[in-house]
Structure 1
């Protein structure tokens, strides 16, 4: 009898164990090294692996664009970690478009916001939300939390000292962009740039992170993350995971009044 009960117990553990091993959602991180962004990958991958363990989600990591040749529907979000739209081939671009239209989430980090060939893929430019123009030399500046109700800011102070490349952008390419973080240009020199280049800054409103709904999916974009050492910073990792969590699940923000009214109906 004891052996029978033990066998039943082992069978129950065998059956139920996979349910506990599965994460709450699955994420694809695509980190394609390039001329100016390659050292970060060595630091970023183990940090993302720890993030997945800490927050209980599954993760696939890719150094190339090959995952876009396969089925993407199993991923709740795709993180373009310094991976730009120009890194994808034509058929792979169509795959990403279909994924987003199916409700998938996208997290665009730093170089992912740079269009290698502006105008060649308008859909992706609108996905990111703003067009990159230029950036000055890396400097320390003050970052301001503009939306304390968005998960990517939950772990951040209202004003945050940060050192990075301060990307400058054009006006919004789509309606509905919601600024999450901005940088105070009075705290650094926007004109400090390499000889032969000109950077003037964006003025009083200089967003560096935002989110929006686009073409059926959710998009979180952050310009922060140039220097490899930044991926060892706990605040930055909280910022990334907050945006990733929302992109993957849509959770963490209060519904708009109109959306809440429709839900009650």
Structure 2
């Protein structure tokens, strides 16, 4: 009987508590409210933290950029989530620039791609495109341009999506790798508010892209205006693919 008791005791020891998953990387999310983007914050936080639990990575959430006052080294990537980048203080901007020059990585979502002209040229070049304006929110066909990139894996070749399709320019002549575009024949690029002029971009209208900057990786998606979008499974798959590549550099086939 004694050998059987020993085996039983060993089995109980091995199965007494499940092993905790070790975080694969740390992500810093800066989600500061702005005039038109604030309702998304609790919804996005709940969804992104759920993704972190499901996929074994750690999330630090900040509404004001305070983590930039400390050491950014432990973070595999910094996500600017609908955050007006120009609201960061000069010292915090310099620390983020140093982080990227040291091999840090950045992800930029929707409103965070907008920075007033000459407010922070370094950041504008990091984004890779400069914001002009956007038509009213409309339903359109988003097109998959690079099926090899993780942020497109879960998306169809043509995806019906409703958003603000930003118009951008490339004054710094930054080379980007577009992964999503929008078909301008599927919506009205000129439908805009009085006093503004809606100018179509034509066939070359990127909505998400990646590139390298300083010594780091950068992923940008211009999608993500409304709070309910952060409950949408396909959109969250899009964000997850961007997070995974930005933080690890993996996933491109």
Q: Same fold (TM over 0.5)?
A: yes
Q: For residues 66-90 of structure 1, what are the alpha-carbon distances to aligned partners after superposition, in whole Å with 9 as ceiling and x for unaligned?
A: 1111111000011100013202111
The corresponding residue for 1:53 is 53
Q: Kindly tell me: are residues 199 and 114 of structure 1, through their superposed partners in 2, closer, same or farther at Cα, counting changes over 3 Å?
A: same
Per the TM alignment, residue 174 of structure 1 is displaced from its structure 2 partner at its CA by 4.3
The corresponding residue for 1:262 is none
Residues 76 and 105 in structure 1, CA contact (< 8 A), matched pair in contact too:
yes
Q: Establish whether residue 191 from structure 1 lines up as the match of residue 193 from structure 2.
A: no
Within 5 Å, give how 1:1-265 maps onto structure 2: 20-115=20-115, 117-171=116-170, 173-254=172-253
Structure 2, unaligned runs of 5 or more: none
Per the TM alignment, residue 22 of structure 1 is displaced from its structure 2 partner at its CA by 2.9
Residues 32 and 82 in structure 1, CA contact (< 8 A), matched pair in contact too:
yes
Per the TM alignment, residue 105 of structure 1 is displaced from its structure 2 partner at its CA by 1.2
TM-score, normalised with respect to structure 1: 0.87
Per the TM alignment, residue 173 of structure 1 is displaced from its structure 2 partner at its CA by 2.8
SS across alignment from 1:133? strand
Per the TM alignment, residue 176 of structure 1 is displaced from its structure 2 partner at its CA by 3.0
Structure 1, unaligned runs of 5 or more: 255-265
Matched residues, number: 247
Superposed structure 1 runs of 4+ greater than 4 Å apart: none
Residues 125 and 174 in structure 2, CA contact (< 8 A), matched pair in contact too:
no
Residues 129 and 172 in structure 1, CA contact (< 8 A), matched pair in contact too:
no
User: How many Å separate the matches in 1 of 2:49 and 2:171?
Assistant: 33
Residues 177 and 211 in structure 1, CA contact (< 8 A), matched pair in contact too:
yes
Residues 133 and 166 in structure 2, CA contact (< 8 A), matched pair in contact too:
yes
User: How many Å separate the matches in 2 of 1:172 and 1:105?
Assistant: 23
